[in-house]
Amino acid sequence: MDEYNRFVDWDKMDVTVQSQDAKELTCTEFQELKQLARQGYWAKNHSLRAKVYHKLISNIPCRTVTPDANVYRDIVVKIVGKRNSSSLPLPEFVDNSLVPTYCLNAEGIGAVRKIILCIANQFPDISFCPALPSVIALLLHYSKDEAECFEQVCRILACNDPSKRLIDQTFLAFESSCMTFGDLVNKYCQAAHKLMVAVSEDVLEVYSDWQRWLFGELPMVYVARVFDVFLVEGYKVLYRVALALLKFFHKVRAGQPMESDSIQQDIRAFVRDIAKSVSPERLLEKAFAIRLFSRKEIQLLQMANEKALQQKGITVKQKRQNVHLAVHAENFKSEIVSVKEMRDIWSWIPERFALCQPLLLFTTLEHGCSLSRFYSHNEGHEPTLLLIKTTAKEVCGAYLSTDWSERRRGGNKLSFFGTGECFVFRLQPEVERYEWVIIKHPELAATGSEPENHASPASSTLSSGSVPPDPSDRLSPFLSARHFNLPSKMASMFMAGSSECIIIGGGDGQALYLDADLNHGRTSHCNTFNNQPLCSESFQISVLEVWGFRD
């Protein structure tokens, strides 16, 4: 252990969890490494963990010219000079108020600042990297000297494998990761998300903390276990652990009063003191129990979020827009929902569209109850929000990810399309959001139509080979069959439209059917959440509105 203890304050470390048993790591196969990392094979042996980190980091594909230990030795004196390293000013791209010490001694704490300044000198393109101090502080535990730690961090920063995302280095990448995390919370932590919406004025602001939970508030022993797996599996691990933290926060704090005036501060405090309620092993177990989207799907979502930010001109750090400000009280008027209800709906939609403002496209009160008029007003807009108020005062709706013009691909037949971001929801009598499912009941459309005009699910879907790629400006690639070359039996079946009806597939067995005159509708529901249907099985429509998204 002596070889790697130069920067460690062992009095602050829990040495009881350290094992001196000699261990070696001989495997090189990814699946075996993945299992060993998740099991914590090298977590209890300081020297072995150091050797494993060196091995994993040395295998990261990097740019041809990547600064190494010799570069550090050449530049550190020129950059730092004779200044006191513990008080060195940090570059703007890190959060000066959040430099974790992770049981480092005085020399180690000063080394963090010295290495950050030298990295700023060698990586002028870095504009925003709040995770950097944490990564350096952690790697100093497993480095023989500052130069070695510098080289390892440089290799992580200089990774040039497009499929291997490691650390965000620009505000655009960081902000889009926050939006992506918000999208994942919306899908995988709905109970926690519901709490965030209820107690926070801006859920995006809460989720912008997700990297801080990992690389700022989480105790060192937890960070190291996360980093073990991160070096093997990549960025997706960070999303997993952050989601698990939020799930545990909701579970532990459910029903308890807030400890401060800010949910943000409460989550930070929970993560700092997580050892009181959750072990590192339990945290990782929870994280890997989440059936998360594939790496490719998450990458597509991240790209879409980045593109939305670029189109908004949000590429450098600036004051965040409060997501609720997207629905301006003075400019918003609906006959179905209030401003508050619309803001709640806005918290459910994908983050890249939460940057936009609602734009009324169609209302039966003004445009009548013609389905053809419904299509003509809504085509060319993607995504859209459908709101329905029944004569029984029920209010329900759907978020629809895809342009209604896609229905024409099926000719005169009822054609199915859409992406996995579609969902249906109910606002009255109780609020409930239903995750999407593939439409399983196309027979709903048979009433009032010729049977041959409504194909079975297998024949109605669009095979991936028959659908041309989306235009480059399409911002709804997420979970669409055409992007993942899925076979026709798995193609998107979330929306359907013809000249005679509309069908929208919802969650928990929900499906919403609207007839051609937009006066009458019905639902199909089975295995519903708490047996609560979307609305009455058969209903009369009082008002129907469709909203688009305006930049």
SS (H, E, C) 323-362: HHHHCCCCCCCCCCCCHHHHHHHHCCCCHHHHCCEEEEEE
**What pLDDT, on a 0 to 100 scale, did the predictor assign at position 198?**
84
- Report the C-alpha gap between 415 and 88 in whole angstroms: 63
Whose structure tokens read 């997580």? 274
**What pLDDT, on a 0 to 100 scale, did the predictor assign at position 218?**
96
Distances (CA, A) of 81 to 85, 123, 455, 494: 9, 20, 76, 63
- Report the C-alpha gap between 249 and 269 in whole angstroms: 10
**Phi, psi at 117, each rounded to 5°:** -65, -40
Tell me: the pLDDT tens digits for 50-66? Answer: 999 999 999 999 988 89
Q: How much is the pTM?
A: 0.77
**Phi, psi at 489, each rounded to 5°:** -70, -15
| Positions of the chain with pLDDT under 50 | 1, 319-325, 437-492, 506-508, 526-531
**Phi, psi at 501, each rounded to 5°:** -165, 170
**What pLDDT, on a 0 to 100 scale, did the predictor assign at position 277?**
94
CB count in 10 Å sphere of residue 138: 23
The number of CA neighbours under 13 Å toward the Cβ of 474 is 18
**What pLDDT, on a 0 to 100 scale, did the predictor assign at position 487?**
38
Distances (CA, A) of 359 to 353, 386, 551: 12, 12, 10
**What pLDDT, on a 0 to 100 scale, did the predictor assign at position 223?**
96
β-bridge pairing 384-390 and 395-400: antiparallel
- Report the C-alpha gap between 495 and 404 in whole angstroms: 9
SS (H, E, C) 488-511: HHHCCCCEEECCCEEEEECCCCCE
Q: Are 361 and 384 in contact (CB under 8 A)?
A: yes
Q: What residue ranges do the domains of the chain occupy?
A: 1-163, 170-319, 339-442+489-550
Question: Which SS3 state, helix, strand or coil, does residue 270 take?
Answer: helix
**What pLDDT, on a 0 to 100 scale, did the predictor assign at position 429?**
80
R_g over Cα of the chain: 26
List Cβ neighbours of 362 (8 Å cut-off, separation of 6 or more): 373, 374, 377, 378, 544, 545, 546
CB count in 10 Å sphere of residue 331: 10
CATH no., domain 170-319: 1.10.472.80
- Report the C-alpha gap between 269 and 276 in whole angstroms: 11
